Chain A
Amino acid sequence: DQQVKQNSPSLSVQEGRISILNCDYTNSMFDYFLWYKKYPAEGPTFLISISSIKDKNEDGRFTVFLNKSAKHLSLHIVPSQPGDSAVYFCAAKTSGSRLTFGEGTQLTVNP
């Protein structure tokens, strides 16, 4: 039972354009959401998070949007840079529970 789904295994965008990575969840009790970035041969690193009381959180080029009614989360990167090429994982949790991760989306930003 995959409670957090990233339906796009890969995404390719041009440098300077917007990258939109999507994530859907099924557990309406999730109240905290995170995005991690993973480069090859490295562990994931925390990127940005959002609480369920918000619908948007922005940090520089990265913005996370939360649509609770649709149980949908998205990460926007603008403008995209070649160094953003990585696997992006979304994750979600309820209070006191452990994180549940999605399968990951490989983003490739072409120069």
Chain B
Amino acid sequence: DAGVIQSPRHEVTEMGQEVTLRCKPISGHNSLFWYRQTMMRGLELLIYFNNNVPIDDSGMPEDRFSAKMPNASFSTLKIQPSEPRDSAVYFCASSLGHRQETQYFGPGTRLLVL
């Protein structure tokens, strides 16, 4: 099993640019989670999907952030326009069922907004 796949692994962009992060969950998993990791706040859940439907997006910081899951094998997290304070590591995780406890994380995307 390839595990959760995220791309790109690293992204450097300039303030104001659009950033799109991609995630392929583990085959057969029906829940997908997007997290952001910062030094100050640790790991924060941004949004999670179950069966491709957004269930809880209360962690999405603001309207500049949007996430989609067009099918069971792909999800995107978009930031438009990006700001320097968005610099962080963004993780995608997937699990079978709603159980966040049994989630498997991807390797993360390290985003730097200049």
- Contact of B105 with A43 in the complex, beta carbons under 8 Å: yes
Measured in the bound complex, the distance between the Cα atoms of B105 and A44 in whole Å is 6
Q: Does B12 contact A (CB under 8 A)?
A: no
Number of A residues with CB within 8 Å of any CB on chain B: 21
- Contact of B101 with A89 in the complex, beta carbons under 8 Å: no
**Chain B residues near A93 (CB, 8 Å)?**
100-101
Q: Binary interface profile of B, 83-114, with partner A (CB < 8 Å = 1, else 0)?
A: 00000000101000000111111111000000
Known: A93-B101, A103-B39. A43 touches B45 (CB 8 A): no
Q: Does B14 contact A (CB under 8 A)?
A: no
Which of these, B43, B48, B101, B102, contacts A44 with CB under 8 Å? B43
- Contact of B106 with A43 in the complex, beta carbons under 8 Å: yes
Q: Binary interface profile of B, 67-81, with partner A (CB < 8 Å = 1, else 0)?
A: 000000000000000
**Chain B residues near A104 (CB, 8 Å)?**
37, 42-43
The smallest beta-carbon distance between A8 and chain B, in angstroms, is 13
The smallest beta-carbon distance between B112 and chain A, in angstroms, is 15
Q: With A6-B42, A46-B101, A93-B100 given, can you name 19 additional A-B contacts, CB distance below 8 Å?
A: A2-B41, A41-B9, A42-B105, A43-B4, A43-B104, A43-B106, A43-B107, A44-B105, A45-B104, A45-B105, A46-B102, A89-B43, A93-B101, A98-B56, A103-B39, A103-B40, A103-B41, A104-B37, A104-B42
Number of B residues with CB within 8 Å of any CB on chain A: 24
**Chain B residues near A6 (CB, 8 Å)?**
42
**Chain B residues near A46 (CB, 8 Å)?**
101-103
Q: Nearest A residue to B35 by beta-carbon distance?
A: A101
Measured in the bound complex, the distance between the Cα atoms of B72 and A14 in whole Å is 45
Q: Nearest B residue to A6 by beta-carbon distance?
A: B42
Some 30 contacts from A to B, beta carbons below 8 A apart, are A4-B42, A32-B101, A34-B101, A41-B107, A42-B105, A42-B108, A43-B91, A43-B108, A44-B91, A44-B105, A46-B102, A46-B103, A49-B101, A89-B42, A89-B43, A91-B43, A93-B100, A93-B101, A98-B48, A98-B56, A98-B59, A98-B100, A99-B101, A101-B43, A101-B44, A102-B42, A103-B40, A103-B41, A103-B42, A104-B43
